[in-house]
């Protein structure tokens, strides 16, 4: 039995969960609304303050989806109540970040600035303090979307292992390599 899938999702006050006939689960909360298609084999029961997922058999496919959908719905409930926040740090000489609305302008050491339009579901902000690396903050209710956008921003200039220059997540520990040793 899936240890994650067995646990019920606790629904806090102010959050409503509805399941339509075609297994589309909708979570509404104070910060917004999210929807998720659930596989037709997984059954969903919304009881007083809890959501319980059950699977029909012990097939590998059913066991995998059991825990997956429970985790997705739990992330949705947390998103509409608290929200998610991701912080990226730009490490490098001359690296800059600025935003106007949902347009993010990044200077990452290329011959041109990179301008990215952040999805409207997310809120982006940037900070640049003297003596600190520029930071980009992503906020929203959809954990999957925040992770996807943050990974896309990081892929524009991945941190390199020698000096650590690039776009990294705040708190990320980079595996550093020793450079060439000096000749005699």
Structural domain spans, the chain: 3-81, 84-169
State which fold the 3-81 domain adopts.
Outer Surface Protein A; domain 3 (3.90.930)
The CATH number, out of the four listed (1.10.540.10, 3.40.366.30, 3.30.1370.100, 3.90.930.12), of the domain defined by the range 84-169? 3.90.930.12
Confidence (pTM) = 0.89
* CA–CA dist 81, 5 (Å, integer): 21
Nearest Cα neighbor of 77 from 145, 14, 153 is: 14
Residue 22, token pair as written in the block: 């075609």
Hey, how many other C-beta atoms are within 10 angstroms of the C-beta on 6? 13
pLDDT tens track, the chain, 184 positions: 458 888 999 999 999 999 998 889 999 999 999 999 999 999 999 988 899 999 999 999 999 999 999 999 999 999 999 999 999 999 999 999 999 999 999 999 999 999 999 999 999 999 999 999 999 999 999 999 999 999 999 999 999 999 999 999 999 999 999 888 765 5
């Amino acid at each position: 039995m899936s240890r994650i899938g067995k646990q019920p999702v606790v629904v806090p006050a102010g959050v409503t969960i509805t399941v339509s006939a075609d297994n589309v689960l909708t979570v509404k909360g104070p910060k917004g609304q999210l929807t998720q298609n659930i596989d037709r084999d997984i059954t969903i029961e919304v009881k007083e303050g809890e959501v319980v997922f059950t699977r029909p058999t012990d097939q590998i496919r059913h066991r995998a989806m059991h825990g997956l959908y429970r985790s997705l719905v739990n992330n949705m409930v947390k998103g509409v109540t608290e929200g998610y926040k991701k912080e990226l740090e730009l490490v490098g000489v001359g690296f800059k970040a600025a935003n106007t609305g949902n347009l993010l302008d990044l200077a990452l050491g290329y011959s041109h600035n990179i301008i990215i339009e952040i999805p409207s579901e997310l809120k982006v902000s940037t900070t640049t303090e003297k003596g600190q690396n520029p930071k980009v903050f992503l906020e929203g209710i959809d954990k999957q979307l925040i992770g996807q956008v943050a990974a896309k921003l990081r892929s524009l200039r991945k941190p390199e292992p020698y000096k650590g220059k690039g776009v990294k997540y705040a708190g990320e520990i980079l595996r550093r390599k020793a450079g060439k040793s000096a000749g005699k």
